[in-house]
Amino acid sequence: MRQILRRIVSPEWRFRTHRLARLRWLTKYRLMRRYDTDVGIHRQLAYVLFDPEIESFSYEIENEPEVIAGLAAALGRPEEELLAYAAETRRDPELNQLLTRHLRWRFHIKRRLPLGNRLAWYLIVRVLKPELVVETGIYLGLGSLVLLRALERNSQEGSPGELMSFDMVSSAGSVVREQVRRGWIRVVGSTRDLLVPALEDRRVDMLFQDTPHTEENQRFEFGAAISRAAPHLLLVDGSGGQSPTLEAISGERNGAYHRVPLRSRDHIYPGQPIAFAAFAQDRDDGQPA
């Protein structure tokens, strides 16, 4: 029945129904039982009764030092550099005071949005200084905001870059204030129809894949980035490695696949690893091997 409804109801209307997620107590109870995370009864009740999130969770990271160490090792950079970048997120007004003020009266979004796994996104962009970042799936836009702020920092240091984001819903990305949207390329529609044309004559440094994590869809979106790859390409799997597709592609094309553990703190959602693969050009056609 759920799959039938998804085919009948447009993405715009499905997105609008999420505005009532704070009142979907049964759904939240089932999610809590599904994840079976070890949190106290007060936290469980607070989630079921008041929390508006039923997907794309925001949460504090319990093992941030482990995340930073894992990313530093995978990216070949000193931990001190990533620690400094992580500290930026705690000082950035757009990710803290201004974001809280922007969300003050929005019933369907938490007033305070911890970055969760998006902290790793910020660190990856700050370390690698990409010229073009592609994001498939915007939803509320917390990930987009984090990527835009990392790119802005890079630009201030002389390494400008762009974010190109895709979503089926025109109103996706509402947490990103207008003042931060300068230079943000938003493409509304299916990646199946629009991703390849949008990347024509472009070179992709990084792709964050966060639309459905089916093998067919991931093969298509990762493949589009590979066909337009910059000399160094990094692909990030928004499923946290639950889908085996990126690891398989990495093995097929001599990429370096990494999975860094990440756990939530005091949240019914346990968190998910950061899964990504790095590729370098070493073929005559310019594509990753």
Q: Give me the domain span that covers residue 115.
A: 64-280
Let me know if residue 59 belongs to a domain: no
Let me know if residue 46 belongs to a domain: no
What is the amino acid identity at position 53? Answer: E
User: In which band, very low, low, confident or very high, does the pLDDT at 21 lie, cut at 50, 70 and 90?
Assistant: confident
Let me know if residue 106 belongs to a domain: yes
> Per-residue pLDDT tens for 32-84?
999 999 999 999 999 999 999 999 999 999 999 999 999 999 999 999 999 99
**What pLDDT sits at residue 20?**
81
CATH number for the domain spanning 191: value is: 3.40.50.150
Domain count, the chain: 1
Let me know if residue 54 belongs to a domain: no
Quick one: average pLDDT of 89-106? 95
Are residues 265 and 62 in contact, defined by beta-carbon separation less than 8 angstroms?
yes
Instruction: State the pTM of this model.
Output: 0.92
User: In which band, very low, low, confident or very high, does the pLDDT at 111 lie, cut at 50, 70 and 90?
Assistant: confident
Q: In what order do the strands lie in the sheet with 162-167?
A: 185-188, 162-167, 132-136, 204-209, 229-237, 274-280, 256-260
Let me know if residue 26 belongs to a domain: no
Let me know if residue 52 belongs to a domain: no
DSSP letter for 156, please.
H
Let me know if residue 55 belongs to a domain: no
Let me know if residue 272 belongs to a domain: yes
User: In which band, very low, low, confident or very high, does the pLDDT at 29 lie, cut at 50, 70 and 90?
Assistant: very high
